[in-house]
Homo-oligomer: A and B are copies of this chain.
Amino acid sequence: MSGQPLKIAVAGLGTVGAGVLKLLSQQAQILEQRCGRKVVVTAVSARDRSKDRGVDLSAVRWFDDPVAMAGAPDIDVFVELIGGSDGAAKAAVETALETGKHVVTANKALLANHGTALAERAEGRGLSLAFEAAVAGGIPVIKALREGLAGNRVTEVHGILNGTCNYILTEMRTTGRAFADVLAEAQTLGYAEADPSFDIDGVDAAHKLAVLTSVAFGCPVDFASVHVEGIRHISAVDMAYAEELGYRIKLLGIARLTRLGVEQRVHPCMVPKDAPIAAVDGVFNAVVAQGDFVDRVWLVGRGAGAGPTASAVVADIVDVARGRSTPTFGVPAGQFARLEPSPMEARTGAYYVRLMVVDRPGVIAEVAAALRDHNVSMESFLQRGRAPGEAVPVVLTTHDTDEASMQRALAAISAQAAVLEPPRMIRIEQF
């Protein structure tokens, strides 16, 4: 096949699709050198045929139906940029693989939900299913984990996987503004979607984490086992307390090999201010991997946007053009490690808790007793100002404890008469 032009079909011509077409056109010369052959877009598919995408598509076959394009002859690589875990994206990818095309996709929802099955399908036919763009945008994290750290037993991977959340949290911290206020601004600026729930509720980060987990540990993709919490409940008050306690609040995705199996969780974390990941602000993403030989490796860059995402999509195309193939998730799907999900209740670490209590003698003693009764040891305690008989915020942090004990203690505290609102809890992660 080498020497022959590589024929590409692109499904989905939104921001990323247009970026891919622009990159392929603008860098044609260096791509030919890097690939050892020309890369030619021969077909595209999108809803709106009339829209100007800044690239000349007159010589390219147009398909209204991406599935029909996926099944068409004379295509080497099907680039799926439609999005969504099912529907047209899934049907088109399956058709492409069935009819012998390599697939390059940016679709984390598809991979999170159907990654193992699709990997089996691709590997059964000796095809590549590449997805660098699905996680952390332009940062080559999949390649780094799957190939660069191939000599390691990876024991942990964590990161900032959603730029929208990181932007919102950074703005809240630096301006002191409230979540809703910053979210509205992010929507105006185009950093957050009109319906932002996928991002701010942690689902997007969880999709990416499930994919990273499989690549890191060589196990099936198991999105259903990811514990997911978003950032809606993070308040300006928590931001201020975090600062005071020496922490930054980040939405992290964390996957760890534990003695019970694989722990996968996405939730807001307090990380020490001087931890490298605390300094990754705004729309930037970061992925940190821990391997037994390499120790810790950090990768940081832009996790979204037309340019960075196109960069990742094209890196995958270059791999295919060069004939560089790798099992989808590093290890062949038939040889995946069968690891149990490690339940969230087994998470061990410190906790930050904010309570709104009636300011009267004995309240703190009641809270402390509830913690003690559930074997949770308090590390610090903070009450600013006095307002006898009124509501005041009280903040505490714990020593390392397990999630199950902490949840029982929180339930007991919630039930106390002097505790006026549900306690706010944020897990503290030391890296």
Interface of A toward B, CB cutoff 8 Å = 19, 23, 27, 30-31, 33-34, 36, 132, 138-140, 143-144, 147-153, 218, 276, 279, 291-302, 307-308, 310-315, 317-319, 322-327, 330-332, 335
Contact = CB atoms under 8 A, between A and B. Distances in A.
Residue from A23, A147, A335 with most neighbouring chain B CB atoms (10 Å): A147
A297 B150 contact: no
Contacts of A139: 294, 297
B153 A295 contact: no
A119 to B, nearest CB: 14
B298 A151 contact: no
Contact of A296 (B31, B293, B301, B323): B301
20 contacts: A23-B151, A27-B151, A33-B218, A33-B331, A33-B335, A36-B332, A144-B148, A144-B299, A147-B315, A148-B312, A279-B279, A293-B310, A294-B312, A296-B301, A297-B300, A298-B298, A300-B300, A322-B324, A323-B323, A324-B324
A293 B279 contact: no
Contacts of A314: 150-151, 293
Task: State the 9 A-B residue pairs at the shortest beta-carbon distance, nearest first.
Answer: A140-B148, A151-B314, A138-B294, A294-B311, A297-B301, A324-B324, A298-B300, A293-B307, A293-B311
Number of copies: 2
Contact of A151 (B150, B297, B310): B310
Given A140-B147, A140-B297, 15 more contacts: A31-B150, A33-B218, A138-B291, A138-B295, A140-B148, A143-B144, A150-B318, A151-B318, A293-B307, A293-B308, A295-B301, A295-B302, A295-B308, A299-B300, A322-B325
A61 B307 CA distance: 51
A34 B150 contact: yes
A358 to B, nearest CB: 43
A263 to B, nearest CB: 20
Nearest to A30: B153
Given A297-B138, A311-B294, A147 B143 contact: yes
B301 A301 contact: no
Contact of A132 (B148, B153, B295, B330): B148
A32 to B, nearest CB: 9
A139 B149 CA distance: 9
Residue from A27, A152, A331 with most neighbouring chain B CB atoms (10 Å): A152
Contacts of A307: 292-295
Contacts of A30: 153, 218, 331
